[in-house]
Amino acid sequence: MPEESNIQIPGVPASEPAALDEPTTPREPLPPKPDQQGPEAVSPTGTPTGAPLTARAQSGQYLTTAQGLRLGDTDHSLKAGPRGPVLLQDHHLREKITHFDHERIPERVVHARGAGAHGVFRSYGTAARISRAGFLAKDVETPVFVRFSTVLGSRGSADAVRDTRGFSTKFYTDEGTYDLVGNNIPVFFIQDGIKFPDLIHAGKPHPDREIPQAQSAHDTFWDFVSLHTEAQAHTMWNMSDRGIPRSLRTMEGFGVHTFRFVNAEGKTTLVKFHWKPKQGVHSLVWEEAQIINGMDPDFHRRDLADAIEAGAFPEWELGVQTFPDTEDQMFEGIDLLDPTKFVPEELAPVQPIGIMTLNANPTNYFAETEQVAFHPGHLVPGIDVTNDPLLQVRLFSYLDTQISRLGGPNFGQIPINRPQAPVNDMLRDGMHQQAVHGGAAPYHPNSLDGGCPFLAGQDMSAFIDVPEELAASIKERKNPASFSDHYSQARLFFRSLTPVEQDHVIQAYTFELGKCYEKAIRERQLLALANVDTDLCAAVAKGLGMPAPAATEDVADAEPSPALSQLGKTWPVAGRVVGIMADQDSDLEEVNAARKALDALGIVPLVIAPAGGTLGEEGDGGVPVQRTYLTARSTEFDAVIVAGGAMRASDATAGRDAKAGEPGASLDPRVVLLLSEAFRHAKALGAWGEHSATLETAGIPQDTAGVVAAGTAGELVPQIAELLANHRVWERFPAN
């Protein structure tokens, strides 16, 4: 070996320094530069795993390529002269554009639009007698990730559409991941999974023009549900206020199917899951929903993220209805394997088994909310499936869909999908494999890798399939006779609602069918409604200007279930939003007193003023403005307080100089719009002192339910809070 590096370069005298100085002895690799370290290792719940941490994304010192090469320019492509064509050799350009070109993955075929949050589930231990699931033992805390969704709309569609909402929960338990993939409606459209593509093809936009987006108010949807009458019960829930939740935080959730709990002795119990929100069950009204979809398409997503960020962590109690695992799996005449049926709570009470708190927003939407993969077949010991034919097909579909959606069979290795229980599988290779598996024998049984891993027994937390005796039967494509009642539960639901809620249902059917062009479809759906309830059918037919048909089926009556109504209860007011309309004429001390009093109740006060900034002097006495007449719309507020004096139109009008309430007074039209909408949507309205005159000028009658006049802010706030506890001033409906 020469003593010193002496590489010869043709044409370069040997005395000149060599261009390359190859190391001849091995040396330690250079320490990684700060900007060259791998991405932060986080657990599925977003908490650092303890692996060496790096700085946040975007905070490394130098920009690099994906290979860690430092870049000196990322703003100009490499060209043949400043005005010349771009060169193919520009490796940085090609990497940057190629990666960008592939940033999107296919959206979910259903439930494409969603919002997620991290949290924790704490079990009460009340289910421990009937399920041996470790995470249901007393006081066990299990990290969770929840994704709420709409069903029909694309990823970029609006939140407040009339639709079913998905409610999926991933429990990262010590015994493996358990997914509860439910909806906010306890019954489903179809009884057999083979119909799912038909249902979704009918509900999605028409294939020719791809309209309408995220809506069921169109011909193909109603064509399907009127021809396929087992969908009537679910559709009835959709047409009720449940189809337009006020917030994701104020929705119930349901596992829909009947599942099977298995205890330590192997004894089984049939169960139906319920999520009960501590925040109450509240909905929008249809006009509000329509306004919101234009004003703030991200309404639900924003509401959830804001609440969590503000520390108002939403909570749901998980409960189960339990049924004996009898041979026929019927309960009070209801087939527990029919997913278009629910069991009224009056017949089988919901028994609480734990509480879930959502306490952290995702760090990255794509990595977590988009890439999370749920599957009803992600089970743990102690929870098993039943033979519900809808559930059986779901067990195939969810695994299958992730392969095209997440690009291969290793989606379980994506951080949000990684179990928190040790994984010791023999699945190997495949697209996007992240692991470097050692060993020589990824098969069972083996003798080369010491026979590992071994099989566990029930006492070692193994999942043991419940041995189930099956009745001798013939192979056929048929439903059981007990699946043939398509109307009684739609009737039960409708008749359990209060008149106000029933009126909303009538309006919803009339709206949706009014958007259908084909008369035959409207007629057929009216026929289905006649079988559900003749009054409902007559009211919808009247709205459509069509004759009401007579019922064709003899449908069984059931006892109404008052638990189905959202009215008649009071709920916590924490987390609700109250708008305070103030202006330069306001008594700022009183405005601040109102803000403080609301805040003390956990209510979010937002001040609405003619312009942004601060009313009065910045500092102690001033009032920071959160919304202006331009940015505010009534739909954001659960109640509105008027604390301003004039609120005049900013342009010259006859009453420009007159105070509100005085002859000739003229309010800014946006103020009038906000107040009149809030009034029409049955929200509490209030004012103190002379400001009641502003309400009067806006056309809000003073001596009406839910319109409060008080002497001071201190007197007003408790009255507004009391009204808010009922969600709306229901006496003010019907609105039109």
Catalytic residues: 111, 183
- Surface-to-core class of residue 553, CB atoms within 10 Å of its CB (0-12 exposed, 13-18 middle, 19+ buried): middle
Distance between CA atoms of residues 641 and 607, nearest Å: 9
Question: If binding is defined by CB under 6 A, does position 168 make contact with ligand HDD?
Answer: yes
Question: If binding is defined by CB under 6 A, does position 114 make contact with ligand HDD?
Answer: yes
Q: From residue 402, how far is each of 107, 108, 141, 371, 372 by CA, in Å?
A: 10, 9, 28, 9, 10
Question: If binding is defined by CB under 6 A, does position 658 make contact with ligand HDD?
Answer: no
Distance between CA atoms of residues 247 and 574, nearest Å: 13
Q: Which of these ranges, 177-185, 287-295, 449-457, 690-698, lies near ligand HDD under the rule CB under 6 A?
A: 177-185
Question: If binding is defined by CB under 6 A, does position 558 make contact with ligand HDD?
Answer: no
Name which of 46 and 114 has its Cβ closer to ligand HDD: 114
Minimum gap (Å) between residue 316 Cβ and ligand HDD: 15
Distance between CA atoms of residues 651 and 645, nearest Å: 17
Name which of 258 and 507 has its Cβ closer to ligand HDD: 258
Q: Which residue in 108, 132, 246, 486 binds ligand HDD (CB under 6 A)?
A: 108
Residue 230 contacts residue 337 (beta carbons within 8 Å): no
Can you count the helices (H) and strands (E) in the chain? 15, 20
Distance between CA atoms of residues 174 and 168, nearest Å: 19
Question: If binding is defined by CB under 6 A, does position 183 make contact with ligand HDD?
Answer: yes
Minimum gap (Å) between residue 105 Cβ and ligand HDD: 12
Question: If binding is defined by CB under 6 A, does position 394 make contact with ligand HDD?
Answer: yes
Q: Which of these ranges, 45-53, 105-113, 633-641, 699-707, lies near ligand HDD under the rule CB under 6 A?
A: 105-113
Report which residue's Cβ sits closest to ligand HDD.
166
Name which of 170 and 683 has its Cβ closer to ligand HDD: 170
Name which of 121 and 188 has its Cβ closer to ligand HDD: 188
Name which of 251 and 708 has its Cβ closer to ligand HDD: 251
Counting residues that bind ligand HDD (by CB under 6 A) gives: 27
Cα angle: 372, vertex 377, 380; to 5 degrees: 95
Question: If binding is defined by CB under 6 A, does position 343 make contact with ligand HDD?
Answer: no
Distance between CA atoms of residues 499 and 503, nearest Å: 6
Question: If binding is defined by CB under 6 A, does position 491 make contact with ligand HDD?
Answer: no
Q: Which residue in 109, 330, 395, 649 binds ligand HDD (CB under 6 A)?
A: 109
Question: If binding is defined by CB under 6 A, does position 610 make contact with ligand HDD?
Answer: no
Strand partners, 627: 608
Q: Which residue in 188, 224, 273, 299 binds ligand HDD (CB under 6 A)?
A: 188
Question: Exposure string (b/e) for 473-502, b if CB count within 10 Å is 16 or more?
Answer: eeeeeeeeebbebbbbbbbbbbbbbeebbb
Q: What is the dihedral of CA 17, 20, 25, 29, to 10 degrees?
A: 120
Phi and psi at residue 96, to the nearest 5°: -65, -45
Question: If binding is defined by CB under 6 A, does position 150 make contact with ligand HDD?
Answer: no
Minimum gap (Å) between residue 373 Cβ and ligand HDD: 6
Site map (CB under 6 A) of ligand HDD, residues 419-458, x = contact: ----------------------------------------
Minimum gap (Å) between residue 147 Cβ and ligand HDD: 4
Closest CA to 377 of 241, 473, 259, 216: 259
Q: Which residue in 390, 581, 647, 707 binds ligand HDD (CB under 6 A)?
A: 390
Residues numbered 118 to 147 that lie near ligand HDD (CB under 6 A) are 147
Question: If binding is defined by CB under 6 A, does position 153 make contact with ligand HDD?
Answer: no
Contacting residues for 261 by C-beta, under 8 A, at least 6 apart: 127, 130, 131, 133, 268, 269, 270, 271, 320, 322, 382, 383, 384
Question: If binding is defined by CB under 6 A, does position 342 make contact with ligand HDD?
Answer: no
Question: If binding is defined by CB under 6 A, does position 339 make contact with ligand HDD?
Answer: yes
Distance between CA atoms of residues 79 and 331, nearest Å: 75
Q: Which residue in 42, 110, 490, 632 binds ligand HDD (CB under 6 A)?
A: 110
Strand partners, 355: 122, 317
CB atoms within 10 A of CB 733: 18
Question: If binding is defined by CB under 6 A, does position 389 make contact with ligand HDD?
Answer: no
Distance between CA atoms of residues 264 and 717, nearest Å: 53
Q: Which of these ranges, 55-63, 244-252, 396-404, 597-605, lies near ligand HDD under the rule CB under 6 A?
A: 396-404
Structure tokens at 324: 């004996």
Residues numbered 253 to 282 that lie near ligand HDD (CB under 6 A) are 256-257
Name which of 184 and 502 has its Cβ closer to ligand HDD: 184
SS3 annotation, 207-247:
CCCCCCCCCCCCHHHHHHHHHCHHHHHHHHHHHCHHHCECC
Residues that bind ligand HDD (CB under 6 A): 108-111, 114, 147, 149, 166, 168, 181-183, 188, 193, 196, 256-257, 339, 372-374, 390, 393-394, 397-398, 401
